[in-house]
Amino acid sequence: MTALSAWWARLPRDTRDSLFLLGVIAAIIAPHADHLPWWSTALTTVVLGWRAALAVRQRPLPSRWWLLVIVALYTGLTWLTLRTVIGREAGITLLVMLMALKTLELRARRDAFVVFFLGFFLVLTQFLYSQSLLTAVWSLVSLWGLLAAVVLAQMPSTELQGVPSIGIAARRAAGTTALGLPVMVLLFVLFPRIAPLWGVPTEAIGKTGLSNQLEFGAMNEIANDDSIAMRLKFDGPPPPPDQRYFRGPVLTRFDGKTWRAPDARSSQSWLRGRDDLATTGPALRYEMTLEPLRIPVLPLLEMSPGRVGSELALTDLTVVRGPELQWLSPRPITERLRFNTSSYPAWRAGEQRNRVQLAPDLDLPAGTNPRARAWAAELSAQPRFAGLAPGPRAESLAAALLAHVRNEDFTYTLTPGRYGTASPHLIDEFWLDRRLGFCEHFASAFVVLMRAMDVPARIVTGFQGWDAEPQDGYYVVRNANAHAWAEYWVEGKGWLRSDPTAAVAPNRVIQGLALRPEPGVLGQINPTLWRAVRNGWETLNNRWQQLVLNYSRQNQFDLLKKLGFERPDWTALGQALAAVILVLAIAGAGWIRWSSRPHDAWSRQRARILARLDRSGVALPSHESPAAWAHNLRRQLGQKAEPAAQWLEDLERSRYAANAPTPAWAEFRRAARLLDD
């Protein structure tokens, strides 16, 4: 026995049970730490630590005045932080406070049951933030701990058995949980998916870095986020690497440092026209499972069909085609989406735009990047571009820029350092001096230089590529696959994609490999093992999402059809659910009936004897021995009870005497008939 286990065994029961309950409460509150204000987590930790110290030292609980001070402090800080005491965040913050403070007044059993009730409710609130497999497993473990604490509170201390064991309470709680799991599964399968009960929880996954604006040099932050952004499954073979672009926000306005989306509220926005789409060739059909990226754009493979202004209806969300051919959501996407869609790798857009409509795509802030603009003017004035028509000239200039990137000493790196410290002209510093950067730097410089050469251009952000090996049949796109590329306008052809990153780092685009920082300790020790563990966990999570989180009303109707319902609908679903509840009720009643009866042979025989004597009008104490019953029979009924009394004495001897035969039950029935006369 270790010193810790010996110390634990010497603790009084109240101290030990209190520490166990505090540990369970800490496990319940832990998943909320990422979503609560920092001071709430800190103050809750202090309160729970204070209560643990009081339990170990066996000191009295604090007065109610202390509790009132803490309540006032908690409520005031909640108001100052969230500007409300109503709503999900404020409600959970105050609920955690109540849970912690209630441990400081555990003076009676009813106080403990209030803590248990609050604990069960807090376990449920974990799903308001996440519905992942890890959250489900953690909630199940927390539920087990709470049930063990409830069982422990009901177990008395006795002189023979001493202090009740936490292990015994945990085993009983595990049995209760195991009995409830089948019921939970059945209700999950058949309980109607009725809004707004389904779809309320939202899951805040790490930011992707995609938004309606992009600050020069800011996208390197998302390379550290290796979490999954989306999963795809294609009806046929996947597209080649140069067609693995997912279109997100399109950015045209540049102030010298930050790119922004066009201002739809501008009085001149109607002049911009629309990039109406023309597609050719076969469609590429696929299924997408999109994680909650918290961006107001639905990133689909280029180019998904649909004219500007058309709508695409998903499960609980309708997105609209924007003027730059991106799919705009009325709100940030904060729920997981699963849908089927298609794309056309061969597309053309924006052919009908005129110079007035293209003016915003030529605009550069005055006085910015003078050296880069002079360099662009020198390039465009070269004789090889003289006399070219506008369309071929634009394509030739774009090719010249890509060749310059490819042939000069440019480096694709995640850590280029900060730009703008030595000079306010960021493109000058990148293009002519340091030449270090990642996709955003190259795309920004390309667009600025194309505009300086009088070619309309803009930045497109989104994702490019996916993991080399599929997981469970799905291709995985990660947040680290976020990418920025350029589009420039060519007369007679419209917008053409140009990705200068492919010129300096072909692996990033051709193989779809995201640039990532150095792996952690396990990844450095054994990269293969690290990838296997990560992919295995992500595959398991994907199964959870497909089978559980994406289990919908249509899945329920399909199940009913397999069960024999010709026309599955809400009525059929209600009938199936009612039938299941009825079967569970009958099974529960049968279980209670069976468990109340004696289960060993000797106890069953004693029960039969007492029942038969009771029918004859003889009531005997159930706790006495057969010999005592025989004595009572002779005393109450005299001579006619002699055969029954003799049989009972023979039964007693058969239990304890060596080699004594067991009397036949038929003899007792004949003897008992004499008692009926």
State the DSSP string of 487-556.
EEEETTTEEEEE-THHHH-HHHHHS-PPP-----HHHHH-HHHHHHHHHHHHHHHHHHIIIIIT--HHHH
608 is written with which tokens? 């039969």
Do the Cβ atoms of 635 and 610 come closer than 8 Å? no
Do the Cβ atoms of 481 and 229 come closer than 8 Å? yes
Angstrom CA distances, 202 to 99, 292, 393, stand at 24, 8, 50
DSSP 641: G
Distance CA 70, CA 59 (A): 19
* DSSP H or E stretch at residue 49: helix 38-57
Q: Could you tell me where the DSSP H helices lie in 545-664? A: 553-562, 570-595, 601-615, 626-637, 642-656
586 is written with which tokens? 């009958």
pLDDT of residue 241: 85
Peptide bond into 453 cis (omega under 30): no
Between 346 and 576, where is the model more confident? 346
Q: Read off the pLDDT of each residue in 384-395 and give the average, rounded to a whole number.
A: 88
Do the Cβ atoms of 21 and 100 come closer than 8 Å? no
pLDDT over threshold 50, residue 99 = yes
pLDDT over threshold 60, residue 323 = yes
Residue 204: pLDDT band with limits 50, 70, 90: very low
Distance CA 446, CA 415 (A): 20
pLDDT of residue 101: 84
Distance CA 250, CA 69 (A): 52
Distance CA 535, CA 577 (A): 37
Residue 677: pLDDT band with limits 50, 70, 90: low
Residue 284: pLDDT band with limits 50, 70, 90: very high
Distance CA 132, CA 150 (A): 27
* DSSP H or E stretch at residue 231: strand 228-234
Distance CA 605, CA 647 (A): 13
* Ramachandran category for residue 32: left, alpha or beta (phi over 0 → left; psi -120 to 50 → alpha): alpha
For tokens 């609560």, the residue is 36
Between 199 and 314, where is the model more confident? 314
pLDDT over threshold 70, residue 215 = yes
Distance CA 456, CA 273 (A): 14
Residue 285: pLDDT band with limits 50, 70, 90: very high
Distance CA 117, CA 127 (A): 17
For tokens 């049949």, the residue is 473
pLDDT over threshold 60, residue 523 = no
Between 246 and 662, where is the model more confident? 246
For tokens 């310059």, the residue is 404
For tokens 């204070």, the residue is 50
Mean pLDDT is lowest, of 148-157, 209-218, 655-664, for 209-218
Mean pLDDT is lowest, of 46-50, 264-268, 342-346, for 264-268
- Name residue 562's amino acid: K
For tokens 């009676």, the residue is 108
Distance CA 434, CA 66 (A): 61
Share of the chain above pLDDT 70, in %: 87
pLDDT of residue 197: 44
Residue 205: pLDDT band with limits 50, 70, 90: very low
Phi, psi of 553, rounded to the nearest 5 degrees:
-60, -40
pLDDT of residue 261: 84
Angstrom CA distances, 675 to 89, 269, 647, 649, stand at 75, 106, 13, 17
Phi, psi of 490, rounded to the nearest 5 degrees:
-125, 130
pLDDT of residue 269: 44
Share of the chain above pLDDT 90, in %: 9
Q: What is the pLDDT of residues 596-647, one digit of tens each?
A: 666 567 777 888 888 888 887 888 887 888 888 888 888 888 888 888 888 8
Positive/negative CA dihedral, 429, 432, 438, 439 = positive
Q: What is the pLDDT of residues 328-344, one digit of tens each?
A: 888 888 777 888 899 99
- The residue count of the chain comes to 677
Q: What is the dihedral of CA 535, 540, 543, 547, to 10 degrees?
A: -160
DSSP 355: H
Mean pLDDT for the chain? 80
- Based on the number of CB atoms within 10 Å of its own CB, is 460 exposed (0-12), middle (13-18) or buried (19 or more)? buried
pLDDT of residue 267: 40
* Secondary structure tally for the chain: helices H, strands E: 23, 20
Q: Read off the pLDDT of each residue in 381-386 and give the average, rounded to a whole number.
A: 88
From the list 33, 32, 10, 13, the residue with the least C-alpha distance to 21 is 13
Distance CA 418, CA 313 (A): 42
Q: What is the pLDDT of residues 146-202, one digit of tens each?
A: 888 888 888 776 544 556 778 888 888 888 888 888 888 887 777 776 544 444 444
137 is written with which tokens? 């497993």
3-class secondary-structure state, position 298: strand
Q: Give the list of residues 6+ apart from residue 432 with CB closer than 8 angstroms, or none.
A: 371, 372, 375
Do the Cβ atoms of 273 and 381 come closer than 8 Å? no
Q: What is the pLDDT of residues 543-560, one digit of tens each?
A: 777 777 666 666 777 777
* DSSP H or E stretch at residue 439: helix 439-452
pLDDT over threshold 50, residue 270 = no
pLDDT of residue 256: 84
Phi, psi of 566, rounded to the nearest 5 degrees:
-70, -40
pLDDT over threshold 50, residue 519 = yes
pLDDT over threshold 80, residue 500 = yes
pLDDT of residue 209: 53
pLDDT of residue 199: 46
3-class secondary-structure state, position 599: coil
pLDDT of residue 104: 83
C-alpha count within 13 angstroms, C-beta hemisphere, residue 168: 10
Q: What is the pLDDT of residues 421-459, one digit of tens each?
A: 667 788 888 888 888 888 888 999 999 999 999 999 999
DSSP 596: T
What residue spans define the domains of the chain?
3-190, 213-517, 519-550, 553-586, 601-676
Mean pLDDT is lowest, of 33-47, 466-480, 499-513, 641-655, for 499-513
Peptide bond into 598 cis (omega under 30): no
DSSP string, 99-135: HHHHGGG--SHHHHHHHHHHHHHHHHHGGGT---HHH
Describe the strand order of the beta sheet including 475-478 as a list of residue ranges.
Answer: 337-343, 284-290, 228-234, 475-478
Residue 107: pLDDT band with limits 50, 70, 90: confident
pLDDT of residue 226: 74
Q: What is the pLDDT of residues 19-48, one digit of tens each?
A: 888 888 888 888 888 888 888 888 888 888
pLDDT over threshold 60, residue 220 = no
Report how far Cα 31 is from the mean position of its chain's Cα atoms. 12
- Name residue 669's amino acid: R
Distance CA 528, CA 531 (A): 5
Residue 509: pLDDT band with limits 50, 70, 90: low
pLDDT of residue 196: 43
pLDDT over threshold 70, residue 582 = yes
For 378-435, give the secondary structure using H, E and C.
Answer: HHHCCHHHCCCCHHHHHHHHHHHHHHHHHHCCCEECCCCCCCCCCCCCHHHHHHHHHC
Distance CA 191, CA 203 (A): 22
Q: Read off the pLDDT of each residue in 103-126 and give the average, rounded to a whole number.
A: 82
Q: What is the pLDDT of residues 526-539, one digit of tens each?
A: 667 766 777 777 77
